[in-house]
Chain A
Amino acid sequence: MGEMEVDRADGRTASQLRPLACSRNTLHRAHGSARWSQGDTIVLAAVYGPKAGTKKGENPEKASIEVIWKPKTGHIGKLEKEYEMVLKRTLQSICLLTIHPNTTTSIIVQVLGDDGALLPCAINASCAALVDAGIPLKHLAVSICCGLTESGSVILDPTKAEEQKIQAFAYLVFPNSPLSVLSKGSSAEDDEPIEHGTITSVTHGVMPVLDYFNCLERGRAASAKISEFLRRSLESQTK
């Protein structure tokens, strides 16, 4: 479609992601930690594995997840609370909550750099940190930000400047199960319902419905790349 027509400031094409980097086990006290960076957006996530007891409003029959979001500078405001809530709900859907009932797992997210696509970066970092801590998960989650320009074309992984210019963008989280990596050639497997699910979608701005579906398609295609990278980095780093 309008792929090559989009002119991005750093010279990327519409479907090109920024360089990804992931390093695990960077902190000594935390049970699990990961640092994820996409270009200049860098997020450090730390996990303190199941602690006894749950907070007052939580269901004691299941494990509960607690997310603390720390911005780089400034006070904690509504935006940080919203990010905490989205992150918590996303991670709740990927963790196996029934294995350790009446426990709390804390995930602390520290923003080290913000150049667009902050929430997806944080979700990716948290997922890697959970793996590093050994928390049982159903499957991994990969997150991507898709932006919609005025011309109707979808750009992936926008920078902060791009996010402010475009009319709408969406943060999308897709599941990353091992089957999505193995069954690359063949299609129409019985695991298709899992692969085609969307865990989280947070949109900003106004976009037509068809363009939103377009974003979903592009995001899912790109998430396969991120999944590959995530799995490679998790497997290659031996403790």
Chain B
Amino acid sequence: MEQRWASTWRMSVNERKFIETALASDLRVDGRRPFDYRRLTIKFGREDGSAEVQLGQTHVLSYVTSQLVQPYRDRPNEGSLSIFTEFSPMADPSFEAGRPGEFAIELGRVIDRGLRESRAVDMESLCVVAGKSVWSIRVDLHIIDNGGNLVDAANIAALAALLTFRRPECTVGGENGQDVIIHDPEVMEPLPLIIHHLPIAVTFAFFSDGNIMVIDPTHKEEVVMGGRMTATINSNGDVCTVQKAGGEGIMSSVVMQCLRVASVKAADITSKIKNAVETYNTERALRKVKRHPLTAAHRVIVPDVIMKNEQVENIGHRPDKNSRQDDEMLVDTKTCTNSESSSGGRHTDPFVGGSSNWDPYPGRVGKLQDLPGPLMVIKEELRSDEMVIESTPELSTITSSSGTVGASGVKQQTNAPKSLKDAVKSKNRKKNKASTTTS
């Protein structure tokens, strides 16, 4: 690569001194305290297994895909997990397209060790036919904005995508019992991966001979820092990885302190990831409910649904509990056809950053702007859900746990924004239980 036209940005001495002096008084340039993380936002795409993580100004995308391959010879009944990191040139002017630099390789290895070697993802459940075909999971991480601390952000993105990824259901059949048939996601519900624990990477930066340490360095702090250490810890307190490659020497007591801080932070971030994934799963189940308005009826017979007191509009109050659940589950099919054309617009909502959105329902866009976290986004969508429904009424395929479609359930057709959430949760359990028994 010709160096003469690659832009090299050098930090000025003034800026460097300013950051160092501020840190000596426990002040960080962006106003954080030394052990504070930047704001973390986790968003999910429409497909399963795609996540977008923003940690302050750092922006990472991750996509998970799966493929049936032959297993390695020494591990015939285990699947494989491979992580590909792409330092896109759009993230930083010094990132160059083509071969990954040493930092990109280091980042890939740290995340790989944290996920694969700590056995966070269960490999044996990915085996289909021992010795012949296993699932190979591929995680693609795209760094699109380098605001500092890429390791942590990329790790969170990889975890979020793996947690929401669903691999297709497949059965072994054929004449000799060796042929693997992969089922279409419409026919059989795809399965999530089994993840035992969530290894969270926490990065520390050291300044002034190892005396000052901060967590989650920004891009400018990374230029000034003397050394860095990444500790990957899960919420149980198990240390999965520690990476300190060169830089200033620090005392062992400092290392222990770092690990203690990291375990606290790991618990915090784990809960954030779990909340975001839970919200996504709820929304996904909601989408599934609306796509099969006829089949949703038979899943309604769930006696343990507890109605929380929430504002529910346009519900005809029925005396018995069962039909009240019917009200919430089913959706007005008339509104389905009206808003079909806007289904495309709805999908772009989580990713619309700016105000310019050519959308037939501009009211929704205003609500989704400038929201702090993923939870808020989904809540807004639920509230405004009654008008925009992503459904194609011609899809009448029934998923795996189908029984007889209760014709009685179809009568009540009302819009039920928020209470669907509670009803859907238990339905989810039932659905997962049923799908595992049939598989």
List the interface of chain A (C-beta within 8 A of B): 10-12, 16, 18-30, 33, 35, 37, 39-40, 42, 44, 46, 48, 51-56, 68, 70, 72-73, 104, 106, 108, 110, 112-113, 229, 232-233, 236-237
Contacts and interface: CB of A to CB of B under 8 A. Distances in A.
Contacts of A11: 340-341
26 contacts: A10-B344, A19-B344, A19-B359, A21-B358, A22-B354, A23-B352, A27-B90, A28-B57, A28-B147, A29-B90, A29-B92, A33-B90, A37-B348, A40-B344, A48-B7, A48-B89, A52-B5, A53-B5, A54-B5, A70-B88, A73-B138, A108-B97, A110-B142, A112-B351, A113-B46, A229-B358
Contacts of B344: 10, 18-19, 39-40
A28 B145 contact: yes
Of B5, B63, B97, most buried by chain A (CB within 10 Å of CB) is B5
Given A28-B147, A52-B5, A110 B353 contact: no
Report the interface size class on chain B.
35 or more
A21 B89 contact: no
Given A26-B354, A44-B144, 19 more contacts: A10-B344, A24-B356, A26-B353, A29-B57, A29-B147, A30-B90, A33-B90, A35-B353, A37-B348, A39-B347, A48-B7, A48-B89, A68-B89, A73-B63, A108-B88, A110-B61, A110-B90, A110-B142, A229-B358
Interface string B348-364: 10011111111110000
Nearest to B147: A28
B147 A236 contact: no
Of A53, A73, A106, most buried by chain B (CB within 10 Å of CB) is A73
Contacts of A232: 356
Contacts of B356: 21-24, 232-233, 236-237
Of B46, B219, B357, most buried by chain A (CB within 10 Å of CB) is B357
Of A12, A20, A104, A237, most buried by chain B (CB within 10 Å of CB) is A20
Interface string B35-65: 0000000000110000000000101010101
Nearest to A68: B97
Interface string B84-97: 00101111110001
Of B45, B57, B144, B355, most buried by chain A (CB within 10 Å of CB) is B144
B345 interface: yes
A106 B345 CA distance: 30
Interface string B1-42: 010111100000000000000000000000000000000000
B2 A55 contact: yes
B146 A29 contact: yes
Nearest to B92: A29
4 closest Cβ pairs, A-B complex: A53-B5, A23-B354, A46-B90, A233-B356
A42 B351 contact: yes
A237 B146 CA distance: 24
Interface of B: 2, 4-7, 45-46, 57, 59, 61, 63, 65, 86, 88-93, 97, 138, 140, 142, 144-147, 219, 340-345, 347-348, 351-360
A40 B345 CA distance: 9
A12 to B, nearest CB: 7
A138 B227 CA distance: 48
A19 B345 contact: yes
A51 B7 contact: yes
Contacts of B341: 10-12, 16
A24 B354 contact: yes
A133 to B, nearest CB: 12
Contacts of B147: 28-29
B45 A108 contact: no
A99 to B, nearest CB: 17
B59 A27 contact: yes
Given A11-B341, A19-B348, A19-B360, A110 B144 contact: yes
A136 B56 CA distance: 31
Contact of B93 (A48, A55, A110): A48
A113 B45 contact: yes
A20 B89 CA distance: 26
Contacts of A108: 88-90, 97
A28 B145 CA distance: 7
Contacts of B358: 19-21, 229, 233
B140 A104 contact: no
Nearest to A228: B358
Contacts of B65: 73
Contacts of A72: 63, 140
